[in-house]
Structure 1
Amino acid sequence: MHRTLKITSVLLLTTFLKLSAQQPDYELNSGWQCQQVNSVKANGEAISSPSYPLQGWMPATVPGTVLTSLLDNKQVPDPFYGMNNQHIPDIYYAGRDHYTYWFVKDFKETATGPDGQVWLHFRGVNDGCDIFLNGHKLNASTHFGAYLRQSYNITPFLAKNGQNRLAVIVYPAPVVGDPNGGQGGDGTIARNVGPQYTAGWDWIQPMRDRNTGIWDKVTIEKTGAVRIKDPHVVTSVPGQRWPGQAQAPAFIDVAADVENASGKAISGMLRYTMEGNTLSKAVSLKPNSSATVQLPELTLKQPRLWWPAGYGEQALYKVKIEFIANGQPSDAESVEVGVREIQTSWNAHTGSREVAVNGQKIFIKGGDWITSDALFRFSKERYDAEVRFHRDMNLNLIRIWGGSLTERPEFFEACDKYGLLVFQDFWMSGDCNGRWVDPMKKEDQWTRRQYPDDHRLFINSIADQVKLLRNYPSLAFWCGGNEITPPPDIFHAIRDSILPALDQTRYFFDYSNSDSMSYNTLGGNGDGPYSIQPVEHFWSFKTFPFNSEVGSVGVGDLVSLRRFMPEENLVMPDYRNKKTDAVWEYHKYIPYENYHEAYGKQKNIEQWTNTAQLINYDQYRALMEGFSAHMWDWYTGVIIWKTQNPWTALRGQMYDYYLDPNACLYGLRTGSKPLHVMYDPVEGMVEIVNNHFQRARDLMLEVKTYDMQGHDSLLTQLFVETAAAGTQKYLPIKAAVDALRSREGVFLSLRLLNLDKQVVDENIYWMADEKGQYSGLQQLKPASVQLSARRSGQEVAVTISNPAGQPVAFFNRFSLVNAGDKQRILPVFYSDNYITVMPGDSKTVTISGAQVGKHTAALVEVYGENVKQQYVTVR
């Protein structure tokens, strides 16, 4: 093994699709039926007999939760809409039997060949289950643990005629918790090894079944006598590398577990092929035995490296791993791999951890993530869309919050594709697990500190999930939990046993805001704030040097609100009189305080939500600009709490549950650009941040203002260059800007142009008057823009032009809509949005995504603060 292996990273396994010699794997994801346990008098042996009648059973959604099946069968109202969730029985009051269900699936399968083996795999069941096939119980004792995979060799139990029945009884978690409104309810939900948020949090109402169900994939795998399990592929990328250049060699180490399921000894060869190179090792297996096999190291010449988003390509390789016995493949895996190495070091100046990829330091710009869907309705397509949004925000990391789950392989595949590093918490949180005194909790801190009840189950689940996920290049860090370390025996098992044995390649944070991540000399919990802040605050207030959670507001526009709010509840919050509609409160609204008042009296809910977008954009642009302005001086990274909601919440989101983006996304996109010009509102300086690895040269910096009539003033224009991986201050303009904005405000336009006069970056601020009011915007005259839209494959290019002599065309929202009902088409992706166009200028926005290709008769809706709503025909 290569001598630098201990600091190497892991190659990606992007799929668990097996390509065996007989037949590919397949998923049991349709044709399931279910029934509540009290309605079934038979036992598992009888129910799993193909002759047992299923009259009266209802169709089941698998993968899915009990609540998902009930919802799909219209047995309960949509818990995401209005106050519907209150009308669904909660398991705490209804009892565990209410959500204990049988799930049954008939399928055709037989073993083939003398050594043919058929395997049944469950990737996730919450929380307990017993499994029966054709009258036989497969598990010797009840399975527990939401994060512990199960595999069964079902070859002996398959029906000779190929007609099989699988029956699974799924039990809710032993302790369901009182949903009393606290973080994780009364906290006892953490006595289980499962998701904690299902008892409710400050951003979600409780999931009434606590996500009981076969929530992840069920698959059938066919192999020969020997099966390949849990491959482990590690890469070493020594030295400092540069994107786009010829590379020195990388080193590949591959290992895998192999299992002989037959009653005879087998000799064969385990081999893998990568880039035309084949490496192998002879293996001898005793009957009914397993072994871990380390294969010879591969020197990969001129490797194509995997880089985080914004720094380089996300190169992936095809690799095939096979076990050959008697000249024939017994089992094979076809996988994709990515080559990269992650290092961390301690930055003594900032007092926080610094991250490097392939020898280049990376300023972390991240988003906190709960899960894709609060009911665990996961799909590859939704994962892809959500991760793409994060890439489009110019982020480079997603942190998986500890009160939820270890994310699914399909999520990591999307992160591999789009270049998002992943910070993966394990399943506990300081709120439930005893970090603080909390009157909402049932038990004291000393008791909660020892949650969960079954430490061995937790440890076994950690080991299993490490094996499941350790090969993805996007997975960058493991973390003991959200804002708290696990109990000592669990912590030491992870740090001292599991990770050294199963994954030596990633830094392990003991908890999400620990001193090993960010030495918090400022005191407090090491994260936040979470509410709306003055723009200047993000620039001037020095927070924690690697802040794992900091955020602001995030209400969508009126179109978004109407998807989950009854019309009668679409009422503007009254901040002055502290009045907020009950549905808003139920959906966890964070107040915008008095920030709307600077934009004038809000006449109706449509204006209020549109003004909220101006505030959203300003908040998240300022957040990332403020942190970037102090990179490597105050900070080595920041993670936004939070970028998405798995439920219809009214806080902390760049797009809503239905994948409709709001202005938070585009303000953050602007503030996070890799090469970005920006204005420091505290010092009044123009600054340029350069996240690239190389110096930026021959850039023209242009600074202009525009008044409310559209007249411009050139403040300065000069050629600049900026150092790599840093922020530079260039010139003070505060006095000039303050003078120009004093009466009614002003637009400040900052642009970087290359030698071909092409815009490299543009940043437009709307500045308040000397009283802090946007008085000029309230009197802004209409702008008559020209619009055109043209389709090319799965893309639509929309051009907006603002003729000379007009006012600024301010803050224009683009939406792709159905031609008939004018409803937004979701999800689609905009190269930019909420854009402002200066007089005599034009901009083109590209709309892309699979939905664009599917809707050939779509229109483009455009409206702005002073641009009337209109629809553009796509040519």
Structure 2
Amino acid sequence: MSPTKLIKPQFLLYLLLFTICLNGNLYAQSSYELNSGWKCADIGSVKISGYELSKPDFNAKNWMPATVPGTVLTTLLNNKKVPDPFFGMNNEQIPDIYKTGAAYYTYWFIKDFTESPTTKGSQVYLNLRGVNYSCDIFLNGNKLNKTLQKGMFLRFSYNITSFLAKNGANRLAILVYPPDVLGNANGGQGGDGTIARNVGLQYTAGWDWIQPVRDRNTGIWDKVTIQKTGAVRISDTHVITLVPGQRFPDGPQSPANIQVSATLNNAATAPVSGTLRFELDGKTISKTVTLKPSSTQQVNFNDFTLQNPKLWWPNGYGPQNLYNLKVSFVANGNKLSNQQSLKVGVRQLQSEYNEHTGSRQIEVNGQKIFIKGGNWIISDEMMRLSDARYDAEVRFHRDMNLNLIRVWGGAMIERPEFFDACDKYGILVFQDLWGSGDCNGRWMDPMKLDDQWTRRKYPDDHGLFLRSAEDQIKMVRNHASLAIWCGGNEITPPEDILVPLRDSILPRLDNTRWFVDYSNSDAMSHNTLGDNGDGPYGIQPLSVFWEHRTFPFNSEVGSVGLSDYESLKRFIPTSHLSPPVYDEDTHKTKTDEVWDYHKYIGYDTSIARYGKVKNAEDFSNKAQLVNYDQYRGLAEGFTSHMWDWYTGFIIWKTQNPWTAMRGQMYDYYLDPNACLYGLHNGSAPLHIMYNPVNGMVMAANNTFKARRSMMLVVKTFDMTGKDSLITQVFADIGATTTKRYFSIKKTIDEMAAKEGVFLSLQLLDADKKLITENLYWIPDQKGNFSGLQKMKLNDLAIKAKYFKPGQVEVTLDNTQNHSLAFFNRLSLVNADTKTRLLPAFYSDNYVSVLPGERKKVIIDYQPGIAQKDLQVEVSGWNVSKRYLPIDNN
């Protein structure tokens, strides 16, 4: 069954005539979502059957308002029945399902809706896109499912035409049961591991980056829709785009081939003849079809040749062009029975084994793409999913100059709306299926209930796994961004799942993408190092990223990720805002219990290099300097060896579905930290960089265009702002490559010895305009940033103005012969409360301004917010905090 989209009231009249086409999902001719007005009650308080509950005359006045889509825990939170599990240690106050038993979180959900009986063969369907974990469904005193509907990752559709009330007043009642196996949240990775006996979410029993989700996400967690069609309904439309040869983003293109098929279901008791057609690029392709009574038939169109196609490219390599494609079935010559619309990105994915690196390389439209990715868990641990949040999170990944997101196997196949955003922003998707080495038996683990042999057979129902995989593949396979299918995280599925998945299901349903059996398989990245093939995960000397050779396509490598003080205040009680203390003798950290509960990961000695910590605010501010350096260094180190040591890297991880204090470029509330901008810098498509080990000045070009006649300018600045020109030379670099120019190690070491120095690298074009730049702060000979601690305040001149609706331009001017204005954080804030407007998107942040330099930063935010309510906050290492009015001129 095709996924449907939320229909806003102002579009309802329009939708009676036309189909809305938005961002790649499939939409029925007349469809609406049941997303409000639900009520619920726990099973223990309900003494009558679903047959009675689903009759409109049952009085549910005293039932609790329910959040659908959502989970039981979300509903309880929204009704103030439980405290916010994201704040402090509130999660400990919420009963865990393993201790309470399943009945505690087993709930009835009811919904009244208006839909009149149909006429002349029209059909009405009830579609459920996700229920965790099983349910019984009743409508107007009738039970719709003959057997228990089970499967968190299965879409279900019921033809309810014959069950609609004559007066149009309908009552839907759904009894939702928790996962079959609840899992003991004993502190292990996935708790005691038994949560993996379900075909469902593993993180809900807790991990080293999240506390347990107390209801294990029981509920009607995804969209519920009513769909109206004629006798024939279209489902599982499949679009394949073939782009032969090696292409470039610019100029005329040779043709592309488009292959379209669709499944038709005739719900009528009589044969139906009609025309199935699709429309693309102003052309209409038709096929005459006759369907037998109560039958389903797949229809394949002849290949369509698309002339001079506008191609879809990954972020940084070209535009993300998308075509509108509409599929419709017209019965009996002129009656529209059903139609669907989707967005199509025309591109071809390929992969091949790079013998030099010993790893797989990804190619798009015949061009190799150096993968710069981030690992993703889920948008929100309580399944509060939304188009807007997906768009913001994926946009942040675009802003980091990444080109891939890996969806980790302990969560789910992401929703179509997530893939919509990835299509839009050019982010390839590496999609794991359900499983992890932790729960599914790769390692010995005393925290696990079952031995490895038993866990290796998880989940209990292999047939359900395969049916779910088939369904979810059909749901997302049309998205241009989907690039890789993966059997599981750090372990393959059991053999009787892996073999049909690899040899039958994917070849039949989606044969244009690479399938890797598990995330750190030798088929992806040959492991010559003798360990698990992932990591490291904690803070590293920058030299490690540059000089230590790791796995040639590393699926998980990362560092720290503490957000700044404004973020910490959102979820840590004031009484617990005390900084960690690291003991250099014992190498242990004394950490507040709330920080520990939110999975703080240590910064060791790195904070102290910037001076003695005063308080939590000072600690978190200094942590941003470490964050920036760590992730710029990670991106630069891997990129410096692209196509030699590496074909790609994927950071563990770039986002959190809970208020954890590690592995994030922005916090749960969508507030970015310096990790994001370190990556933004270090992963830039054309980037100039400095190897801190051997002093080599290098450039990386992750574009398809060679760059010629550039001027490479190398300068230093001391703590007073005095500059020294080290050298400037003409430079060039080929496409998709790196280049080493010269080493300046001896010079920099001498200049930095006493109190450190700033190193400025710039590339200028033939008109002497800046193309790209990079600024390093080099420590003194003891490895400390002693000079930074002596810098005088800088009265940086800053102005802000409204650039256009939803945009603010901030200009930062530093006076010549003045000190460098170092590491300035910009924030768009509410003028009265001084709280940050979230989300907001910055063209750059944590910016430093050289003496005599002017920089401009563009801030994007949601248009429609009253301008009088906004200000810009600026604060830096040596720039005092101030709030700026925003000029309307």
Q: TM-score range by the shorter chain?
A: over 0.9
After alignment, is 412-421 or 593-602 more displaced? 593-602
| 2:485 paired residue number | 478
Unaligned runs of 5+ in 2: 1-20
| 1:72 paired residue number | 78
| 1:322 paired residue number | 328
Q: What is the CA-CA distance between 1:606 and the residue it aligns to? A: 1.0
Q: How many residues align?
A: 861
Alignment pair present for 1:765 and 2:771 = no
| 2:27 paired residue number | 18
Any conservation in 1 of the 2:320–2:426 contact (CA below 8 Å)?
yes
Summarize the alignment of residues 738-757 of structure 1 with structure 2, pairs less than 5 Å apart: 738-757=749-768
2:423 pairs, out of 416, 426, 432, with 416
Q: What is the CA-CA distance between 1:317 and the residue it aligns to? A: 0.8
| 2:8 paired residue number | none
1:333 pairs, out of 331, 335, 340, with 340
- Paired AA for residue 368 in structure 2: K
Alpha-carbon distance in structure 2 between the residues aligned to 1:551 and 1:237: 35
| 1:860 paired residue number | 872
Q: Secondary structure at the match of 2:625?
A: helix
Any conservation in 1 of the 2:589–2:602 contact (CA below 8 Å)?
no
- Paired AA for residue 661 in structure 1: P
Q: Secondary structure at the match of 1:743?
A: coil
Q: What is the CA-CA distance between 1:14 and the residue it aligns to? A: 3.6
Q: What is the CA-CA distance between 1:852 and the residue it aligns to? A: 7.4
Distance 1:406 1:856, change over 3 A: farther
Relative to the length of structure 2, the TM-score reads 0.96
Alpha-carbon distance in structure 1 between the residues aligned to 2:153 and 2:342: 23
Alpha-carbon distance in structure 2 between the residues aligned to 1:441 and 1:142: 30
2:810 pairs, out of 785, 798, 806, with 798
Alpha-carbon distance in structure 1 between the residues aligned to 2:28 and 2:221: 24
Alpha-carbon distance in structure 1 between the residues aligned to 2:188 and 2:209: 11
| 2:111 paired residue number | 105
1:178 pairs, out of 184, 192, 197, with 184
Any conservation in 1 of the 2:25–2:343 contact (CA below 8 Å)?
no
| 1:833 paired residue number | 845
Alpha-carbon distance in structure 2 between the residues aligned to 1:855 and 1:48: 49
| 1:585 paired residue number | 596
- Paired AA for residue 642 in structure 2: M
| 1:782 paired residue number | 793
1:198 pairs, out of 193, 204, 208, with 204
| 1:5 paired residue number | none
Alpha-carbon distance in structure 2 between the residues aligned to 1:475 and 1:17: 16
| 1:702 paired residue number | 713
Summarize the alignment of residues 374-385 of structure 1 with structure 2, pairs less than 5 Å apart: 374-385=381-392
Q: What is the CA-CA distance between 1:16 and the residue it aligns to? A: 3.7
Any conservation in 1 of the 2:25–2:417 contact (CA below 8 Å)?
no
Alpha-carbon distance in structure 2 between the residues aligned to 1:94 and 1:413: 39
- CA offsets 1:386-416 (integer angstroms, 9 cap, x no match): 0000000000000000000110000000000
Alignment pair present for 1:158 and 2:164 = yes
1:813 pairs, out of 821, 825, 839, with 825
Unaligned runs of 5+ in 1: 1-11
Alpha-carbon distance in structure 2 between the residues aligned to 1:263 and 1:646: 48
Q: What is the CA-CA distance between 1:855 and the residue it aligns to? A: 4.9
Any conservation in 2 of the 1:281–1:296 contact (CA below 8 Å)?
no
Any conservation in 2 of the 1:13–1:337 contact (CA below 8 Å)?
no
Relative to the length of structure 1, the TM-score reads 0.98
1:670 pairs, out of 660, 681, 694, with 681
- Paired AA for residue 740 in structure 1: M
Alpha-carbon distance in structure 2 between the residues aligned to 1:760 and 1:562: 38
After alignment, is 413-422 or 847-856 more displaced? 847-856
Alpha-carbon distance in structure 2 between the residues aligned to 1:182 and 1:46: 43
| 2:577 paired residue number | 570
Alpha-carbon distance in structure 2 between the residues aligned to 1:504 and 1:432: 29
2:738 pairs, out of 717, 720, 727, with 727
| 2:632 paired residue number | 621
Q: What is the CA-CA distance between 1:19 and the residue it aligns to? A: 4.7
Alignment pair present for 1:284 and 2:295 = no
Any conservation in 2 of the 1:111–1:117 contact (CA below 8 Å)?
no
Any conservation in 2 of the 1:642–1:652 contact (CA below 8 Å)?
yes
Summarize the alignment of residues 412-451 of structure 1 with structure 2, pairs less than 5 Å apart: 412-451=419-458
Alignment pair present for 1:347 and 2:359 = no
2:398 pairs, out of 378, 381, 391, with 391
Q: Secondary structure at the match of 2:227?
A: strand
- CA offsets 1:564-609 (integer angstroms, 9 cap, x no match): 0000111110111631000001001100011111111111111111
After alignment, is 841-850 or 653-662 more displaced? 841-850
- CA offsets 1:206-241 (integer angstroms, 9 cap, x no match): 000000000000011110000000100101000000
Alignment pair present for 1:693 and 2:668 = no
- CA offsets 1:89-114 (integer angstroms, 9 cap, x no match): 00000110000000000000024331
Q: What is the CA-CA distance between 1:17 and the residue it aligns to? A: 5.0
Q: What is the CA-CA distance between 1:851 and the residue it aligns to? A: 5.4
Q: What is the CA-CA distance between 1:268 and the residue it aligns to? A: 1.1
| 2:131 paired residue number | 125
1:506 pairs, out of 504, 509, 513, with 513
Alpha-carbon distance in structure 1 between the residues aligned to 2:389 and 2:402: 18
| 1:49 paired residue number | 55
Alpha-carbon distance in structure 2 between the residues aligned to 1:820 and 1:47: 49
Alignment pair present for 1:92 and 2:98 = yes
- CA offsets 1:779-838 (integer angstroms, 9 cap, x no match): 011111101001021110000111112111000000000011100000010000000001
- Paired AA for residue 423 in structure 1: F
Alpha-carbon distance in structure 1 between the residues aligned to 2:775 and 2:871: 27
Alpha-carbon distance in structure 1 between the residues aligned to 2:816 and 2:763: 21
Summarize the alignment of residues 290-305 of structure 1 with structure 2, pairs less than 5 Å apart: 290-305=296-311
- Paired AA for residue 692 in structure 2: P
- Paired AA for residue 629 in structure 2: D
Q: What is the CA-CA distance between 1:18 and the residue it aligns to? A: 2.6
- Paired AA for residue 521 in structure 1: T
Alpha-carbon distance in structure 2 between the residues aligned to 1:251 and 1:369: 33
Distance 1:389 1:736, change over 3 A: same
Alpha-carbon distance in structure 2 between the residues aligned to 1:276 and 1:724: 36
Alpha-carbon distance in structure 1 between the residues aligned to 2:567 and 2:536: 26
Alpha-carbon distance in structure 2 between the residues aligned to 1:126 and 1:391: 31
After alignment, is 275-284 or 665-674 more displaced? 275-284
Any conservation in 2 of the 1:825–1:851 contact (CA below 8 Å)?
no
Alpha-carbon distance in structure 1 between the residues aligned to 2:366 and 2:864: 39
1:843 pairs, out of 847, 855, 867, with 855
Alpha-carbon distance in structure 1 between the residues aligned to 2:25 and 2:135: 23
- CA offsets 1:165-191 (integer angstroms, 9 cap, x no match): 100000000101000000000000000
Alignment pair present for 1:872 and 2:884 = yes
Q: What is the CA-CA distance between 1:280 and the residue it aligns to? A: 1.4
Q: Secondary structure at the match of 2:239?
A: strand
Alpha-carbon distance in structure 2 between the residues aligned to 1:52 and 1:262: 33
> Identity of paired residues, percent?
61
2:377 pairs, out of 370, 376, 382, with 370
Any conservation in 2 of the 1:793–1:853 contact (CA below 8 Å)?
no
Q: What is the CA-CA distance between 1:756 and the residue it aligns to? A: 2.1
Alignment pair present for 1:145 and 2:151 = yes
Alpha-carbon distance in structure 1 between the residues aligned to 2:696 and 2:866: 47
- Paired AA for residue 637 in structure 1: G
- CA offsets 1:434-482 (integer angstroms, 9 cap, x no match): 0000000000000000000000000000000000010000000100000
- Paired AA for residue 84 in structure 1: N
| 1:604 paired residue number | 615
Any conservation in 2 of the 1:255–1:292 contact (CA below 8 Å)?
yes
Any conservation in 1 of the 2:831–2:868 contact (CA below 8 Å)?
no
| 2:241 paired residue number | 235
Q: Secondary structure at the match of 1:578?
A: strand
After alignment, is 693-702 or 99-108 more displaced? 693-702
